[in-house]
Amino acid sequence: MLLPPGNVSVEREFSRFAPDNVALNYNRLSRPFSISTKSSLLSMVPSLERAARDLAQAHPEVILFACTSGSFLEGRGKEDELARRIREYTGIPAITTSMAVVAALSALRLKRIYMITPYPDDINDEEVQFLAHYGVEVTGYDSFRCEVTELTAAVSSAAVAELARKHRREITQCDGLFISCTQLLTMDQIEPIESELDRSVVTSNQATLLAALKFLGVRTQGLRAGRLFELPAEEKVAAVTHATGVS
């Protein structure tokens, strides 16, 4: 995994939900400031080559660019561009969180969703456009509107679940719920939210981990990460392949 420098949540969630037979290796991109702005998030891109080449020395089977907003802010239709560059730099297959999310929503057939994020509204509006480009309508959203990534890390997964409950009516009128940002703790709340609201939930970390495990051919049933992980393997593989171009 390639992470933003201040991201402390991916390692916590992946170490809990990844099966024991999967090795997880991490490297961090460079970013001068942790403010939640488009320019700050895109400032990680110049460090991509160095970080990817360094991580490649661990000989991973697949590299994940584990940042949602950082992989959709370059513009519509460019959400796989960072993965393409990683493949070019290293010769190793790569997947971005943005495209993993698209694959997850496709696998669950979620076309109309409610969205929860930690982002300021200008980033939220960009994300609405990104999802619309892939045929997913965001019927509404709410956000913690964190101005720096440290504040996102301080949001508990229980607070995320509570915000979802606050929007129970809007969510139950949609196909499901999408919770964005790899820095936002969510995965231990997926099953409770799905049970309580009777709607499928996709989160950035859940979708990213699923994309990796499906690429590796690892069984995901029983990992307790929501309906997405319980789908038949062929459905998940088809969605990941279609969304990312990785086969």
On whether the CB atoms of residues 78 and 71 are closer than 8 A, the answer is: no
On whether the CB atoms of residues 143 and 166 are closer than 8 A, the answer is: no
What CATH fold (topology level) applies to the domain 2-99+206-244? Rossmann fold (3.40.50)
What pLDDT does residue 238 have? Answer: 56
pTM of this structure: 0.92
What distance in Å separates the CA atoms of residue 87 and residue 72, rounded to the nearest whole number? 18
Query: Pick from 214, 242, 222, 212: which is nearest to 96 by CA?
Result: 212
Domain boundaries defined on the chain: 2-99+206-244, 102-203
Which CATH number among 3.40.50.720, 3.30.420.10, 3.30.420.40, 3.40.50.1860 corresponds to the domain 102-203?
3.40.50.1860
C-alpha count within 13 angstroms, C-beta hemisphere, residue 17: 29
Q: What is the pLDDT along the chain (247 residues), one digit of tens a residue?
A: 999 999 999 999 999 999 999 999 999 999 988 888 889 899 999 999 999 999 999 999 999 999 999 999 888 888 999 999 999 999 999 999 999 999 999 999 999 999 999 999 999 999 999 999 999 999 999 999 999 999 999 999 999 999 999 999 999 999 999 999 999 999 999 999 999 999 999 999 999 999 999 999 999 999 999 999 999 866 655 555 555 566 5
Q: Which two tokens stand for residue 213?
A: 């495990």
What distance in Å separates the CA atoms of residue 207 and residue 100, rounded to the nearest whole number? 5
Strand arrangement of the beta sheet that strand 94-96 belongs to: 27-28, 2-3, 63-65, 94-96
Straight-line distance from the first to the last Cα atom of the chain, in angstroms, rounded to the nearest whole number: 19
3-state helix, strand, coil in the chain (%, to 5): 50, 15, 35
If DSSP codes are grouped into helix, strand and coil, which group holds residue 117? strand
What pLDDT does residue 103 have? Answer: 96
What pLDDT does residue 227 have? Answer: 97
What pLDDT does residue 235 have? Answer: 60
Q: Contacts by 203-206 with C-beta closer than 8 Å and gap 24+?
A: 203/178, 203/179, 204/68, 204/97, 204/100, 204/101, 204/179, 204/180, 205/9, 205/10, 205/13, 205/14, 205/66, 206/17, 206/104
